[in-house]
């Protein structure tokens, strides 16, 4: 399966990096250029995957073992691809996804210590060789990100409540992923106000993908 018609952009990063805000703003800019855009998220993005999400993002931080957790994320991802992402791409839409397989590699592979090989084997089964056209990794100091995340409302805070060492390994993991795949990944300095980060995100997208000129962006 390849993104032959639409484009698939993923946003990644640690807790509180600002992915939700930036995916909304990027959606607005792409639509202003006449592009059909679908926004989605992981874990989630399809009915079955959303049901699995509820098991992963709430409750006690230690409720799952690392392998079980990785398997749950991978099962949710396959359902999300089959029911949401691939049909949208085949229809010629641009799909923007808040987290994708790099989060499983970073969170479970690096953060929880499963390692790259085991996570890569799971992803090979789920993805059938599919990759994003572009991955934007929002990079932010761990403590700053956790302070931002703590200010949000809502109960989906299971990962936020993991220890600081986990979050440091997580950030290092995302940086290592970007270093291994520089053609696919762009690291965005997220230690700034939302407008500045938006400009950095847009520069990466416009530089790496063929975005129509269309109407002037907001």
Give me the residue spans of the domains in the chain: 8-208
Q: Is 18 annotated as a binding residue?
A: yes
Relative to beta strand 94-98, strand 185-189 is unpaired
In this structure, whether the domain defined by 8-208 belongs to CATH 3.40.50.300 is answered with yes
The stretches in the chain having pLDDT less than 50 are 1-4, 215-218
Residue 175 is inside which H or E element, if any? Answer: helix 164-180
Q: Is 145 annotated as a binding residue?
A: no
pLDDT of residue 217: 42
Q: Is 20 annotated as a binding residue?
A: yes
pLDDT of residue 154: 66
CA distances 141 to 152, 156, 171, Å, are 17, 21, 8
Q: Comparing C-alpha atoms, which of 128, 135, 142 is closest to residue 42?
A: 135
Model confidence pTM above 0.85: yes
Rounded distance between C-alpha atoms, residue 165 and residue 44, angstroms: 26
Q: Is 165 annotated as a binding residue?
A: no
Is residue 70 a contact partner of residue 110, using CB atoms and an 8 Å limit?
no
Q: What tokens appear for 105 in the block?
A: 């590699």
Q: Is 62 annotated as a binding residue?
A: no
Q: Is 15 annotated as a binding residue?
A: yes
Beta bridge partners of 138: 13, 188
Backbone angles phi, psi at 39, to 5 degrees: -110, 145
């Amino acid at each position: 399966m390849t993104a032959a018609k639409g484009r698939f952009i993923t946003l990644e990063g640690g807790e509180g990096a600002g992915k939700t805000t930036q995916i909304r703003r990027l959606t607005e800019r792409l639509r202003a250029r006449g592009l059909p855009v679908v926004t989605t998220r992981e874990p989630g993005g399809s009915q079955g995957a959303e049901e699995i999400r509820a098991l992963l993002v709430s409750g006690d931080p230690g409720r799952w073992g690392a392998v079980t957790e990785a398997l749950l994320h991978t099962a949710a991802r396959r359902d999300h691809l089959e029911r949401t992402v691939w049909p949208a791409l085949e229809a010629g839409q641009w799909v923007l996804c808040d987290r994708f397989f790099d989060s499983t590699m970073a969170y479970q592979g690096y953060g929880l210590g499963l390692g790259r090989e085991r996570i890569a084997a799971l992803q090979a089964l789920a993805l059938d060789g599919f990759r994003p056209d572009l991955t934007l990794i929002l990079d932010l100091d761990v403590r700053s990100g956790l302070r931002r995340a703590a200010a949000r409302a809502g109960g989906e805070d299971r990962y936020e409540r993991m220890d600081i060492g986990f979050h440091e390994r997580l950030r290092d993991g995302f940086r290592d992923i970007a270093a291994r795949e520089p053609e696919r990944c762009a690291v965005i300095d997220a230690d700034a106000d939302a407008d500045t980060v938006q400009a950095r995100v847009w520069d990466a997208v416009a530089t790496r993908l063929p975005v129509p000129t269309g109407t002037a962006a907001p």
